[in-house]
């Protein structure tokens, strides 16, 4: 197969960026609308935000199933059995539901900032549990993110607080923290699946995880007393507007996950992190303008600190990858001056790294929202 031209690669990346921005920013607007709007002539709020994760799982399952039906993949590829996703799907079901439910207690900008601070629990767990040593620059990034979230949380804004259904900052941020912890477990489980099954791709993971997620959420919502499945269903039946908002919310999430996978597989995780991080900042900006959520100067300071820390972390990661690539080229050129062993060329030795890189790029990231 002929290599891609630079123009086509640039066009593909531009398409991915536009699709990710459009889908997730639209989903953010719909998510905030579902949590704050008063529907119908009776002016009732949609109180069953955890219910949103059920149609979201169903939509993502249908999307990934369709993609796998269209693109069969390698003839010899054998995806993992569906039972392999049973345990990891538990955390993948509870975590996002907690993140959505947090919007009952904190504003959408606060939720986005809290979910952007995933590096804090990761570094704490790495340092305390596994004894990982981090650089001073990495600690500076964490300090900026943690300080920014704290400054934003302490900032008072009555115009935003009045739109929240049940203002309760400790509970809202606690749900976001639980979401981040469960997402970390989900990512580790997905990495384990990727390591065990070489032919797995993101659509396999997306289909398996969301199939079980649909089952778990259905059982919880409609069998557990007080879970809210039947009241949510009756609310949607009596308020058609909310049904359409939920449909578009779920469709945007499925499309966004698809293009995140495409970005990771074609351009790497670093490019995807850069796109999704800047997208979150734009989401807060659009939320401030679209929904007239004017943030205070103190809160904007917190927002800038968080995304300044995240941007610095991206730059550090880029520098690290650049150094590794440079060292790799030096190693290859050094090996190339030696007489290759019989049956093993320097080029094949260098290419021996590609399967691990390929598997790493296939990991499904929940950058979510």
What distances in angstroms separate CA 295 from CA 161, 169, 305, one per listed residue? 11, 16, 15
**Confidence label for 187 from pLDDT (cuts 50, 70 and 90):** confident
- Residue 267 is assigned to a structural domain of this protein: yes
Distance separating alpha carbons of residues 300 and 182, to the nearest angstrom: 28
- Residue 83 is assigned to a structural domain of this protein: yes
pLDDT at residue 194, rounded to an integer: 75
pLDDT digits 0-9 by tens, 86-115: 988 998 899 999 999 998 898 888 888 888
Region 9-33: mean pLDDT is 90
Q: Structurally, how many domains does the chain consist of?
A: 1
| Highest-scoring range by mean pLDDT, 38-42, 156-160, 161-165 | 38-42
Which one is predicted more confidently, 336 or 252? Answer: 252
- Residue 105 is assigned to a structural domain of this protein: yes
Please, what is the average pLDDT of the chain?
A: 80
51 secondary structure, DSSP code: G
pLDDT at residue 220, rounded to an integer: 94
- Residue 345 is assigned to a structural domain of this protein: no
- Would the pLDDT of 150 be above 90? no
Region 173-182: mean pLDDT is 88
pLDDT digits 0-9 by tens, 215-256: 999 999 999 998 889 999 999 999 999 999 999 999 999 999
To the nearest 10°, the Cα dihedral for 259, 369, 89, 231? -120
- Residue 272 is assigned to a structural domain of this protein: yes
Total residue count of the chain as it appears in this document: 369
Distance separating alpha carbons of residues 214 and 55, to the nearest angstrom: 8
- Residue 367 is assigned to a structural domain of this protein: no
Number of neighbouring beta carbons within 10 Å of residue 169: 15
Which one is predicted more confidently, 309 or 335? Answer: 309
- Residue 82 is assigned to a structural domain of this protein: yes
CA dihedral over 206, 211, 216, 218, signed as positive or negative:
positive
Nearest in space to 280 (alpha carbons), one of 102, 115, 92: 115
Q: In this prediction, what percent of the chain has a pLDDT beyond 70?
A: 81
| Highest-scoring range by mean pLDDT, 28-37, 261-270, 273-282, 329-338 | 28-37
pTM: 0.73
Please enumerate in sequence order all residues whose Cβ is within 8 A of that of 145, keeping only pairs 6 or more positions apart, or say none: 116, 117, 119, 120, 305, 306, 309, 310
pLDDT at residue 55, rounded to an integer: 96
Q: Note down the domain range covering 80.
A: 22-334+357-361
pLDDT at residue 156, rounded to an integer: 67
Distance separating alpha carbons of residues 58 and 250, to the nearest angstrom: 9
Which one is predicted more confidently, 236 or 297? Answer: 236
- Residue 119 is assigned to a structural domain of this protein: yes
- 3-state SS, residue 161: helix
- 3-state SS, residue 362: coil
pLDDT at residue 347, rounded to an integer: 38
């Amino acid at each position: 197969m002929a290599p891609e031209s630079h123009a086509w690669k640039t066009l593909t990346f531009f398409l991915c960026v536009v699709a990710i921005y459009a889908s997730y920013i639209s989903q953010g607007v719909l998510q905030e609308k579902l949590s704050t709007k008063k529907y119908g002539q009776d002016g009732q709020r949609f109180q069953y935000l955890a219910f949103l994760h059920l149609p979201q799982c169903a939509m993502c399952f249908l999307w990934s199933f369709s993609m796998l039906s269209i693109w069969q993949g390698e003839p010899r590829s054998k995806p993992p059995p569906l039972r392999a996703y049973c345990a990891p799907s538990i955390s993948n079901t509870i975590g996002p539901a907690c993140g959505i439910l947090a919007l009952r207690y904190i504003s959408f900008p606060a939720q986005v900032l809290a979910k952007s601070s995933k590096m804090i629990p990761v570094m704490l767990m790495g340092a305390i549990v596994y004894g990982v040593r981090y650089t001073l620059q990495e600690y500076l990034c964490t300090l900026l993110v943690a300080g920014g979230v704290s400054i934003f949380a302490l900032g008072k804004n009555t115009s935003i607080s009045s739109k929240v259904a049940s203002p309760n900052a400790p509970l809202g941020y606690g749900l976001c923290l639980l979401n981040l912890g469960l997402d970390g477990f989900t990512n580790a489980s997905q990495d384990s699946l990727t390591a065990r099954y070489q032919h797995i791709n993101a659509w396999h993971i997306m289909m398996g995880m969301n199939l079980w997620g649909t089952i778990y959420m259905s059982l919880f919502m409609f069998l557990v007393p007080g879970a809210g499945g039947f009241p949510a269903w009756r609310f949607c039946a009596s308020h058609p507007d909310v049904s359409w908002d939920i449909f578009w919310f779920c469709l945007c999430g499925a499309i966004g996950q698809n293009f995140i996978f495409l970005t990771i597989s074609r351009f790497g995780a670093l490019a995807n992190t850069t796109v999704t991080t800047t997208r979150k900042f734009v989401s807060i900006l659009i939320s401030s303008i679209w929904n007239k959520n004017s943030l205070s100067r103190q809160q904007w300071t917190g927002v800038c600190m968080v995304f300044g820390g995240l941007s610095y972390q991206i730059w550090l990661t880029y520098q690290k990858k650049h150094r590794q690539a440079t060292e790799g080229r030096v190693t290859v050129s050094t090996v190339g001056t030696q007489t290759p062993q019989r049956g093993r060329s320097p080029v094949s030795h260098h290419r021996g790294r590609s399967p691990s890189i390929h598997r790493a790029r296939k990991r499904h990231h929940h950058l979510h929202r």
